[in-house]
Structures are given as C-alpha cells and as structure tokens.
Amino acid sequence: MAAVAVTKPGMLTTVQDLGRWGYQQSGVPVAGPMDPYSHRLANRLVGNPDDAATLEATVVGPDVRFEDGATFAVAGAEFPLTLDGAAIRPNAAYYAGPGSELRFGVRRRGARAYLAVAGGFDVPPLLGSRATSLVSAMGPFGGRLLRAGDRLPIGDARGGPGPGAEEPLPLVLPSGGAQIRVIWGPQADAFTEEARRVFTTARFEVTVQSNRMGYRLDGPRLAHVRTADILSEATPIGSLQVPASGQPILLMADRQTTGGYPKIATVITADLPTAGQLAPGDWIAFAPCSLAEARRALVALEERLGDVGS
C-alpha cells in the first residue's frame, strides 16, 4: 500500500479527521482538527471527502517523504513549504513523485496546517474515527504524536477535483490575535455584571499553557457572583469555562467531555477555525453575537469553502 513516512515529526503533528462523535456520553473526547475549515479545504483540494484523515502540523511542521507517488495539498497556517527543495504554494494540489520530500519549516502566520493526500491517510479507525485524542491516548499510533519513522498508509483516491461548485478560498489567518464571536452562556448569569463587561472589552492572551484540549487565557479576572462550581455537565466545543482563578479557559478540539466550572460564553462555529489558528502569545478578544448572526456567519464561511446553497 502506498504510504507517507515521517522523517522529522515537527513540534506536534497528529492524524485528524472530523472527530470521534457519538461517544461523549461515555466520556470519550471528540478530538478532530483545531481548524476544521482548513482540514476540509485541504481534503477538497485533492478530491477527498471532508472526513478523510489529514495530518495536523503545529507551529513547527514535519518533514515527510512520499514513498510512492501521491497528490497532496497543504492548507491552514502559512509555512515555507518546499517539495524536493523547490518552494510550493499552500492551498493548491501538487503531485509528489515516489521518494519526494515535503518540508514545512517554521510557520510564518497562523498555528496549524493540514496535509491532505488524495485517498486520505488510511490508518485504522477506532470507534469510527481516525482522529488522535492525545488526552485520552485514543486513535492511530495509540493516540500519540507522530514520530520520525512513522509510516502512514494512503487510501484509494476517488479521483477528480473536489466537490466545491466554486474555487474554495483559504481561511483568513489571524496575525498576532483575533476577535472571536461568542454567544453568551450557558452560565453567563453566574458572573458579575462587571465580569461580563470586562469579558467583552478586554484583550486576553493565549498562554503557553495551551494545547489541543484548550487555551488558558491570561487577562483581567472574571468574578463569579457566588461560586465557581456547578454540578458537572457537558463541555461543548468553544466553551469558555472559568474556574475559581477567574482566568477563562477556551475548550478546543481535544477537550474533556464534562466539567464542573461555569461557562460564561461559547465561541460560534464559524469562528472556531480562526481560534484554532491562534498560538501562545496571541491576543484574543470576544464579541457577543446572536444565534441568528452565528448562523449567517457559518453560511458565509461555507460559501467561502465552495458549498453554495447545499
């Protein structure tokens, strides 16, 4: 079977598909790409379905060797990509001949890039998904980071261009920080009026204590009205939970399924890809919006990806 070999693993490279849905009731994290938009874009550029497995590279990308010829594309964060030493563009499909080497280098903008190969990475699925959950050590390679020497089999390409009716456009990458839209709650009323005001006016910093589970944010303290404990409940993607310290944590792809801290607000689906492109040191500001605005923003993003009126 055709395969791609990892020659240098980069900082944090994992296999991801759209996530391990359906088992959160048993405590199984969803995982999946931090920037689902760019994961899907990379897949579409090579004619894959959206849920085909890609490699997610983080800040320092990997070097890989194509053991056999394959069509590939890289989307998401901007890296100085080279194929056999020649510079190549992101967001475009290329053919790599047998033995070709793809190098990522150190990112220029954004935090995470996605490498898709035509046919997808055909690693064995676990509970219906090829996503890597580092926190629960589930998924391909025992749910760990990729290492030098790992070989990733490539599935059968279905051929032909992506399904988009229009040329898909890349995500607008954040530069140093981003404004992110949120919907208040589910526990906004657990916070003081002052805390809610500060939450929407201050800038927070993504700290180094951030990973695929979530971003610990540094900024003004958000005070609870009474207590920082709630009866444990589900923690949806994009939740901003606030423990007793008053410093919010933005829950991302590999979050735990449940938690016992109040959640002041939740990032809208359309802005999760941008949030996934933030790195430690970047700022983040929150803008409340309505459910109707969230839906409009998502439709606009889907149009950008080439899904028109589907």
Told to check if 163 binds another protein by CB under 8 A, we report no
Q: For another protein, what does the binding mask look like between residues 7 and 26, x meaning CB under 8 A?
A: --------------xxxxxx
Whole-angstrom distance, CA of residue 209 vs CA of residue 191: 24
| Least distance CB 154 / another protein (angstroms) | 24
Q: CA dist 234 to 94, 244, 257, 260, 267, Å? A: 42, 19, 6, 9, 15
| Least distance CB 266 / another protein (angstroms) | 3
- Among 267, 275, 278, 279, the residue binding another protein under the rule CB under 8 A is 267
Element (H, E) at 102: strand 101-103
Stretch that binds another protein, among 131-139, 147-155, 163-171, 204-212 (CB under 8 A): 131-139
Told to check if 294 binds another protein by CB under 8 A, we report yes
Whole-angstrom distance, CA of residue 12 vs CA of residue 125: 20
> CA 169, 170, 176, 178 torsion: positive or negative?
positive
Whole-angstrom distance, CA of residue 70 vs CA of residue 79: 20
Beta strands in 186-269 (DSSP E): 204-210, 214-218, 233-234, 239-241, 249-251, 258-259, 263-267
- Among 68, 218, 302, 303, the residue binding another protein under the rule CB under 8 A is 302
Told to check if 238 binds another protein by CB under 8 A, we report yes
Told to check if 27 binds another protein by CB under 8 A, we report yes
- Residue closer to another protein (CB basis): 26 or 159: 26
Told to check if 233 binds another protein by CB under 8 A, we report yes
Whole-angstrom distance, CA of residue 51 vs CA of residue 58: 20
Q: Using CB under 8 A as the criterion, which residues of the chain lie in contact with another protein when the complex forms?
A: 21-30, 126-127, 135-138, 182-183, 185-186, 230-234, 236-239, 256-259, 263, 266-269, 291, 294-295, 298, 302
